[in-house]
A and B are shown apart, each in its own frame.
Chain A
Amino acid sequence: MLAELGNFALVIALMMSMLLAIYPMWGAYKNHAQMMALAKPLAIGLFVFTLFAYIVLTRAFIENDFSLAYVAHHSNSLLPWYYRVTAVWGGHEGSFLLWVLIFSLWTVAVALFSRAIPIQMVARVLAVLGLVAMGFYLFILLASNPFDRLLPFYPVDGRDLNPLLQDFGMIIHPPMLYMGYVGFSVAFAFAIAALISGKLDSTWARWSRPWTIAAWCFLTVGIALGSWWAYYELGWGGWWFWDPSENAAFMPWLVGTALMHSLAVTEKRKVFKSWTVLLAISAFSMSLLGTFLIRSGILVSVHAFATDPTRGLFILGILAVTVGGSLLLYALRAPQLKSTGRYELFSREVLLIGNNVLLTAATIVVFLGTLLPLVHKELGLGSISIGAPFFNQMFVFLIVPFVFLMGLGPLSRWKRQSPTALVRQLLIAFGISLSAAVLVIFSYDQAAYMAALGMTLSFWILLTTLQEVMQRIEGNKGELSVVAKLRALTPSHWGMVLGHVGFAVTLIGITLVSNYEQESDVRMSTGDSINIGGYDFVFNGVEELKGPNYGGHVGLVDVFEDGDFVSALAAEKRFYPVQRTTMTEAGIDSGLTRDLFVALGERLDNGDWALRIYVKPFVNWIWAGAFIMGIGGIFSIADRRYRMAKVAKFKSLTSNGKTIEPATEAN
């Protein structure tokens, strides 16, 4: 009965999205206040009814209602309660419900936190969101309804959740990732609303900046969590596989990063307007494309959802209408956009757009690499797999100019920068980063050119960022202490600093783990010991393992360094009887400078065990960097300039309508 109510709630939500798509838009066109005022209650209704449906499905999981097909396929009575709650997004239908729930959450957030934005703009933005939502609610009701019943013959027990997903990383990874994915819909809606209204001054850029940064934060953290999960759960010791579903999340991130920076230029300097609008459309289009690629089963991927051409066709239809429609609108309106600001060839504007171009190039590389197998197939050239070597090589080419500009950009001025004024600073930064990189490389046994390159790039970012902060402090002529001057920097400036530092930290992790990781497959009997990377791994045999819904073995390994005990690792090999799958749960000792990683392999004929042992230097820095980037984003959003009510008041107070730039400007 409750499930039917959930279904009904989704139908009501669909109708609300239809009303939301029509009335506020019409009202904005006719300048009809009541119709525009409908936007807010409709957005709230959309969220409330979707939330209700979501809670109903969660309840069905907790109470093991196996008469629901979705529950029967993705849960089991032996599953612990917390995995039953997360099993809601363990399959296609439920994860799509989470998708629309998060979509409605963003919609309601825009409705509630946009009091300072003119009502016409808010009405249009919400109407665009309603229009997009309509497609997705139709999709969930017609092609992937999580409330379908298995009546009258329902199973006594469910088929269990995929063991890969029974993990803490999986509890938080999808919601974070979806928050990011779906969050770009807000920037998209602002851009479309601005295109519709024809008022393409830079105000829309200011309004959509905090939303874009928020979505970007979630996406950054979501991707990092996914990579972390792959690292310790898949048992291959890798952290990025260039798998289509990873690429599907990475493309919006690349475009989103470009958008975030382009919005800053458009807001501050009123240039590159049409480019920014195109990026806003592209970021959300990439999210939609990712959804399509993963859910249509068009690409073979290790964690794609079940294949079904009708579903794929439906999402492709949504994609065609949303993306095609908005690009058509763009083609019609963009030629009228005039950039008013002026700038010279060597200026912060040009450096930022340079990085935008490189980010776009990176997106195209990932896009082609992901879709080329498909295109290849369609052109009659057979199926192929494009492997990591292609992506790795392309990204090495792209990252060198990217990082160079990343260091240069913040140091330069808007409008015009004299190159000679920067030469000394840059030479110092380059000299120090090169020497630091060489020193780091020499502390390892063998030299590798790639490691030297990666470390030089990382130090380059760190040093230029430091120089930039110092430049700001020196620029502050007040008679203040250094600490006070540091405090005078705006939160959004700190956001930029943290974002760039986080990137450098990630780059350090990637460089060192790719070049200096040590790996060994060994055969060990109880009591054996092996030395890898300066650590002695002693195998203490294997014990039986008994979990709530699995059994298996656990291999015990003690690690010593120069005879001193470091850690006791437990590498598990679990067998999940319901799904008849074996899972590796690696034993990992995490540290700031290295991870020790042991995975249990097969039992060999004479009772020995195969073990895979890795020593991974600085691998945690990869994810730590992503979290620092996320914190940087939070700082940026916290900037006072975005508490829009105040900005609006301030604006109305200045009679000539000019906004006064903050004393220390930043992006």
Chain B
Amino acid sequence: MKKVLIFLLPLGFFVLVALFLFQGLFSDPRARDSSLVNKPLPDFNLPDLMQPQVEYTPEVFKGQVSLLNVWGVWCITCAIELPYLTELSDNGVRIVGLYYDQDTDPDFGTKTVGTIQQEVNAKLGQLGNPYAFNIFDTYRDYSLDLGVTGAPETFLIDKKGVIRMHHIGDVNPRVWKNKIGPVYQRLMSE
């Protein structure tokens, strides 16, 4: 009997996978709210990706409505949303990048800031650069503070530096039209 159970394992594993695939077909991948909504941005003091001597604090978000976009060159979905974000920024939307790279991890990292800058430039040169500037999340801890589970994620931040919306997944024309855009327009007129 014990032996039969072992041979049932592959079937059990497959059924489990199939259930997830089934659910995945019908789920709305982008719904889910962050606990940070309507709270001010957590405090930070982080360098600029391209000019590490420049440091930013939450002050940079005061006075303007901005999108804070968490991304990395290693993330495929981010590459897909870049052209559309560029289009948005061409239309006057202020987009700030929060860049994080797994490869700068002090334990496992293989990359230097220089190589990352190169990669970022290559990617943005090819797909468009929507960013007013990129904040470099050196140790990935600020992404954790923001409750980021992956990339890409986008935060809508109002003129007082308060997070008003947290969007998980890519920003595309549909998401902009139905979800982010209306709130953005309202915040602009506030």
Q: Is B80 at the interface (CB under 8 A from chain A)?
A: yes
B168 within 8 A of A: yes
A298 to B169, CA, bound (A): 13
Select which of A309, A313, A384 is within 8 A of B150 by beta carbon. Answer: A384
**Chain B, Cβ-Cβ closest to A298:** B24
B81 to chain A, nearest CB (A): 10
Across the two chains, which residue of chain B brings its CB closest to A285? B14
* Stretch from B3-11, B58-66, B177-185 at the A interface: B3-11
A331-B29 contact, Cβ under 8 Å, with A383-B168, A602-B125: no
* Docked pose: A383 CA to B70 CA in angstroms: 13
Pair B121/A316 contact, Cβ less than 8 Å: no
Q: Indicate which residue in A302, A371, A375, A376 contacts B79 across the interface (CB closer than 8 Å).
A: A302
Given the known interface contacts A371-B17, A383-B169, A610-B125, the answer about A309 and B149 at a Cβ–Cβ threshold of 8 Å is: no
Known: A298-B25, A373-B150. A387 touches B14 (CB 8 A): no
Name the interface residues of A350-408: CB closer than 8 Å to any CB of B: 371, 373-378, 380-385, 387-390, 393
Of the listed stretches A99-107, A218-226, A317-325, name the one at the interface; the rest are far from the partner chain: A317-325
With an 8 A cutoff between CB atoms, is B132 at the interface?
no
**C-alpha gap A243/B74 in the complex (Å):** 10
Give the residues from 493 to 531 in chain A that come closer than 8 angstroms, CB to CB, to chain B.
519-521
Residue in A323, A327, A378 whose CB lies within 8 Å of B27: A378
In contact, A383 and B11 (Cβ under 8 angstroms) = no
* Contacting residues of chain A (551-597) with chain B, CB-CB under 8 angstroms: 584
Instruction: Answer yes or no: A612 CB below 8 A from chain B CBs.
Output: yes
CA distance A371 to B13 in the complex (A): 13
Q: In the complex where A382-B32, A387-B75 touch, is A521 in contact with B125 (Cβ < 8 A)? A: yes
Q: Does B175 contact A (CB under 8 A)?
A: no
Note all chain A residues with C-beta closer than 8 A to B126.
235-236, 584, 601
Interface residue from A281, A296, A300, A388 paired with B25 (Cβ < 8 Å) = A296
Is the Cβ of B27 less than 8 Å from the Cβ of A309?
no
Interface of chain A, helix or strand or loop or mixed? Answer: helix
Interface size, chain A (Cβ < 8 Å) = 56
Contact B20 A301, beta carbon cutoff 8 Å = no
Return chain B residues, CB-CB under 8 Å to A243: 76
Q: Does A414 contact B (CB under 8 A)?
A: no
List B contacts of A244 (CB < 8 A): 76
- The docked-state distance in angstroms from the alpha carbon of A375 to that of B20 is 7
Closest to B9 in A: A331
Q: Is the CB of B149 within 8 A of A376?
A: yes
Q: Which residues of A contact B152 (CB under 8 A)?
A: 385
Query: In chain B, what residue has the closest Cβ to A610?
Result: B125
0/1 per residue, B10-28, Cβ < 8 Å to A? 1100110110111111110
Give Cα A285 to B125, complex, Å.
40
B-side contacts of A327, CB under 8 Å: 10-11, 14
> Is B25 a contact of A274 with CB atoms below 8 Å?
no
- A244–B75 CA distance with the chains assembled, in angstroms: 12
Q: How would residues 264 to 298 of chain A score, 1 for a CB under 8 Å from any chain B CB and 0 otherwise?
A: 00000000001000100110010000001000101
B78 at the interface (CB under 8 A from A): yes
B176: min CB distance to chain A, Å: 17
Query: Which of these, B26, B80, B169, contacts A309 with CB under 8 Å?
Result: B26
Smallest CB gap from A241: residue in B: B76
With a cutoff of 8 Å between Cβ atoms, the chain A residues found around residue B20 in the complex are 371, 374-375, 378
Q: Determine if A38 is an interface residue (Cβ-Cβ < 8 Å).
A: no
Hey, which chain B residues are within 8 Å of A319, CB to CB?
A: 18, 21
Task: State the Cβ distance, A138 to closest chain B Cβ, in Å.
Answer: 18
User: Does B4 contact A331, Cβ atoms closer than 8 Å?
Assistant: yes
If A235-B126, A316-B22, A331-B8 touch, whether A301 touches B76 (CB-CB below 8 Å) is yes
- Pairwise interchain contact A387-B7, C-beta atoms closer than 8 A: no
Are B118 and A382 in contact (CB-based, < 8 A)?
no
Tell me whether A312 is interfacial, beta carbon within 8 Å: yes
B122 adjacent to A383 (CB under 8 Å): no
Question: Is A328 positioned at the interface, with any CB of B under 8 Å from its CB?
Answer: yes
Measured CB to CB, the nearest residue on chain A to B170 is A300
CA distance A620 to B17 in the complex (A): 37
- Interface status of A335 (Cβ within 8 A of chain B): yes
Are A521 and B121 in touch, CB under 8 angstroms? yes
CA distance A409 to B162 in the complex (A): 62
Mask of B151-189 contacts with A, CB within 8 angstroms, 1/0: 111000000000000001110000000000000000000
Q: Are B122 and A324 in contact (CB under 8 A)?
A: no
Is the CB–CB distance between A278 and B149 below 8 Å?
A: no
Closest to B111 in A: A389
**Given the complex, which residues of A lie within 8 Å of B27, measured CB to CB?**
377-378
Contact of B122 among A298, A377, A393, A521 (CB under 8 A): A521
Nearest-neighbor residue (CB-CB) of B19 within chain A: A378
Which residues does chain A contribute within 8 Å of B80, judged by CB atoms?
Answer: 300, 302
Which residues of the other chain, B, contact A644 by a CB distance below 8 angstroms? none
Residues in B whose Cβ lies below 8 Å from that of A300: 76-77, 80, 170
In the bound complex, CA of A389 to CA of B152 (Å): 16
When distances are taken between beta carbons in the complex, the residues of chain B under 8 Å from A328 are: 11
Interface residues of A (CB under 8 A from B): 235-236, 241, 243-244, 274, 278, 281-282, 285, 292, 296, 298, 300-302, 309, 312-313, 316, 319-320, 323-324, 327-328, 330-331, 334-335, 371, 373-378, 380-385, 387-390, 393, 519-521, 584, 601-602, 610, 612
Q: Write the residues of chain B forming the contact surface with A, with a CB cutoff of 8 angstroms.
A: 3-4, 7-8, 10-11, 14-15, 17-18, 20-27, 29-30, 32, 72, 74-80, 102-103, 108, 118, 121-122, 125-126, 149-153, 168-170
Extra 7 A-B pairs, beta carbons < 8 Å, given A302-B80, A389-B74:
A281-B10, A298-B24, A330-B7, A382-B153, A383-B169, A385-B76, A521-B125
Pull 20 A–B residue pairs with CB atoms less than 8 Å apart, ordered by A.
A274-B7, A281-B10, A296-B25, A298-B21, A300-B77, A323-B14, A331-B8, A334-B7, A335-B3, A374-B21, A374-B24, A378-B23, A383-B30, A383-B77, A385-B151, A389-B74, A389-B103, A389-B108, A519-B118, A521-B125
